[in-house]
Chain A
Amino acid sequence: MAEKGRNQGAENGYLLLAPTLLVMGLALAAPLALVAIYSLKTQSGIGLSDGWTLARYGEVLGRASYQVLFWRSLAVSGAVTLVTLVLAYPMAYFVAFRARRAKFLWLIALTIPFWTSYLLRVFSWKIILGFDGLINSGLMRLGLIDHPLTFLLYNPFAVVVTLAHAWAAFAILPIYVSLEKIDRALLEAATDLGDGPLRRFLRVTLPLSMPGVIGAAILIFVPTTGDYVTPTLVGGPAGSMIANMIEVQFGRIGNWPLGSALALVSMVAVAMVAGSFVLLARWAAAQVR
């Protein structure tokens, strides 16, 4: 009875799936196709001129100021990913192997900060790092410095710190899950066979947790390359990224074709970097094993 229903119902299944695919097609596929079309056009007044051209891609790839933004976006996001993972790994390790009964409590405590407004979490770093900010006013109050430190805010460093904070949960949780999945018998086996703690970690725990680390890296790297809020609030001119330039093209300057080309090129660049990272990481993990 049930088997019969399951096999007969394929049309029903597609019918159930159709509305979701339709909405995603309308809101995702069609708009992305428009981005591709616009990137091949030329802005003319408030409309587009006829004809197709690759000139926007020439501008995007050729102009030095855009190249600086592309490289900075990739470099900052790479740094953010690395810093976030390195900081989060020991934390996830602690929860998975040391927290014991308090595990659930730790996980709740670690996720609560992420339920504040993203905007205000980022803005809070501007308050902390600023010229009249908390670090400077605190240190001056304590008499440790005479003049405010100016290297804290409005540079790529501030962007990296802020994003490493904003995206921490996306590193902690996947790494924790992959550590939690490791068969504890494997760790005992490594110890019985004479591995010390460090060797055991490097040869068993770390390679087996790599799926979580790689997943977290992608989850963090891809969205942060296109982050707009953080570079705008704490980056300053020296820390501005590609999303700022895309926003300007769609806003103040009103050159939608150029903005579209910038968006597409950055998406492709990010996909290429992320893809090669995954392949490289898998290959490296296979070598260690």
Chain B
Amino acid sequence: MRKHALLLYAFAYLAFLYVPVLVLPIFSFNDSQFIAFPLTGFTTRWYAALGADSAMLHALVNSLKVGTATALLSTLLGLLAARAVTRYRLRGTGAALGFISLPLFIPDIVLGISLLLLLGVAGLPLSLGAVVLGHLLVCVPFALTVLIARFEGFDRDLEEASADLGENGWMTFWRVTFPLILPGILASLLLAFITSFDEFLVAYFLSGTEPTLPVYIWGQLRFPERLPVVLALGAIILTTSIALVALAEYVRNLGVKRPMVGA
């Protein structure tokens, strides 16, 4: 009896999680300006309107640029730091890791306004580059966590064997270490990209005249007549994200024999 109650609860909770998300695709195909029951009919015109929206496409390109730069840079920085703390026994490692993880404990609004102040004092304009700097704060801690786990997961003996067989340090890294941690690198790239692509508040303060996609969406939410189009955009983002996350999960588990569950 208790068992069934828990199962029932699990499905109810799942419904609570999914209903607000399913609203997006359902009403993006509804043939009405108004987001309300009853549904009035099937249409794809909101998607057509979306494709013709050049401002949206411009914001999308901006977000792709920022996401790509953030993913590459945060993975590179995470890679160097993860290598440092797993390969060497350094004094102050704990403090360094704590400092790098600090942005996780600071509200986004504070990160946003503090970088705004930095740009102001340095006399630099608001730009997509500034947004990338802000997104690095959020993404480097994630990248570092993923990569440290990957570095700790592999057998150090393989590197030593390579060295004993006469490879120098650089060749050992490229031929042994890099292939082994490649899944971690790809997962870090994808997670950082998705995080950056979805980030709103920091970009809101720093993007200036070049909106990212979330900043553009934010602007659209004020216009009721634009809502169905925004929902169509949300449905596309949802579908793409699920595909990317599935890909990341698949890549992360490549070559790992034991089942790795969760984040």
A→B interface (CB under 8 Å)? 1-2, 5-6, 9-10, 12-14, 16-17, 19-21, 23-24, 26-32, 34-35, 38, 87-88, 90-91, 93-95, 98, 103-104, 106-113, 115-121, 123-125, 127-128, 132-134, 136-138, 141, 165, 168, 173, 176-177, 197, 218-219, 222-223, 225-229, 233, 243, 246-247, 250, 256, 259-260, 263, 266-267, 270-271
Judging by beta carbons under 8 Å apart, are B21 and A6 in contact? no
Judging by beta carbons under 8 Å apart, are B35 and A223 in contact? no
A218–B101 Cα distance when bound, in Å, is 14
Main secondary structure of the interface of A (DSSP, over half): helix
Judging by beta carbons under 8 Å apart, are A87 and B13 in contact? yes
A176–B262 Cα distance when bound, in Å, is 9
Chain B residues bordering chain A, tally (CB within 8 A):
89
The residue from A31, A229, A263 contacting B118, defined by CB atoms under 8 A apart: A31
Judging by beta carbons under 8 Å apart, are B118 and A12 in contact? no
Top 7 A-B pairs, shortest CB-CB distance: A226-B107, A13-B88, A31-B114, A16-B84, A115-B241, A137-B36, A124-B20
Check B57 for interface membership: any CB of A closer than 8 A: no
Judging by beta carbons under 8 Å apart, are A17 and B234 in contact? no
Judging by beta carbons under 8 Å apart, are A113 and B21 in contact? yes
Q: Which residues of the partner chain A approach B13 to less than 8 Å between Cβ atoms?
A: 87-88, 90-91
| 13 further A-B pairs in the complex, CB-CB below 8 A; given A127-B227, A266-B107 | A6-B87, A10-B89, A20-B80, A20-B100, A23-B133, A27-B136, A29-B99, A35-B117, A104-B259, A110-B17, A119-B218, A121-B20, A125-B20
A19–B235 Cα distance when bound, in Å, is 38
Query: What are 25 A-B contacts defined by CB distance under 8 Å?
Result: A6-B87, A10-B88, A19-B77, A23-B133, A31-B115, A35-B117, A90-B10, A98-B7, A108-B249, A111-B263, A115-B194, A116-B241, A117-B198, A118-B214, A121-B20, A121-B21, A123-B230, A127-B27, A132-B36, A134-B35, A173-B262, A246-B113, A250-B205, A263-B109, A263-B113
- Chain A residue at minimal CB-CB distance from B214: A119
A264–B75 Cα distance when bound, in Å, is 30
Judging by beta carbons under 8 Å apart, are B194 and A137 in contact? no
The residue from B36, B114, B116 contacting A134, defined by CB atoms under 8 A apart: B36
Judging by beta carbons under 8 Å apart, are A119 and B84 in contact? no
A187 to chain B, nearest CB (A): 15
Judging by beta carbons under 8 Å apart, are A35 and B110 in contact? yes
Given contacts A113-B17, A141-B37, contact A120 B217 (CB under 8 A): yes
Judging by beta carbons under 8 Å apart, are B107 and A6 in contact? no
A115–B246 Cα distance when bound, in Å, is 11
Judging by beta carbons under 8 Å apart, are A116 and B113 in contact? no
Judging by beta carbons under 8 Å apart, are B238 and A247 in contact? no
The residue from A20, A116, A177 contacting B237, defined by CB atoms under 8 A apart: A116
Judging by beta carbons under 8 Å apart, are A223 and B110 in contact? no
Check B60 for interface membership: any CB of A closer than 8 A: no
Check B90 for interface membership: any CB of A closer than 8 A: yes
Judging by beta carbons under 8 Å apart, are B21 and A260 in contact? no
Check B23 for interface membership: any CB of A closer than 8 A: yes
The residue from A21, A123, A222 contacting B105, defined by CB atoms under 8 A apart: A222
Check B52 for interface membership: any CB of A closer than 8 A: no
- Chain B residue at minimal CB-CB distance from A73: B107
Q: Which residues of the partner chain A approach B241 to less than 8 Å between Cβ atoms?
A: 115-116
- Chain B residue at minimal CB-CB distance from A123: B221
Check B67 for interface membership: any CB of A closer than 8 A: no
A47–B180 Cα distance when bound, in Å, is 53
Q: Which residues of the partner chain A approach B234 to less than 8 Å between Cβ atoms?
A: 116-117, 120
Q: Which residues of the partner chain B approach A263 to less than 8 Å between Cβ atoms?
A: 109-110, 113-114
The residue from A93, A118, A125 contacting B200, defined by CB atoms under 8 A apart: A118
Given contacts A23-B140, A24-B137, contact A243 B19 (CB under 8 A): no
A121–B83 Cα distance when bound, in Å, is 37
Q: Which residues of the partner chain B approach A250 to less than 8 Å between Cβ atoms?
A: 113, 116, 205
Judging by beta carbons under 8 Å apart, are B87 and A9 in contact? yes
Check B124 for interface membership: any CB of A closer than 8 A: no
The residue from A21, A132, A227 contacting B34, defined by CB atoms under 8 A apart: A132
The residue from A16, A113, A124, A223 contacting B80, defined by CB atoms under 8 A apart: A16
Check B102 for interface membership: any CB of A closer than 8 A: yes
B70 to chain A, nearest CB (A): 12
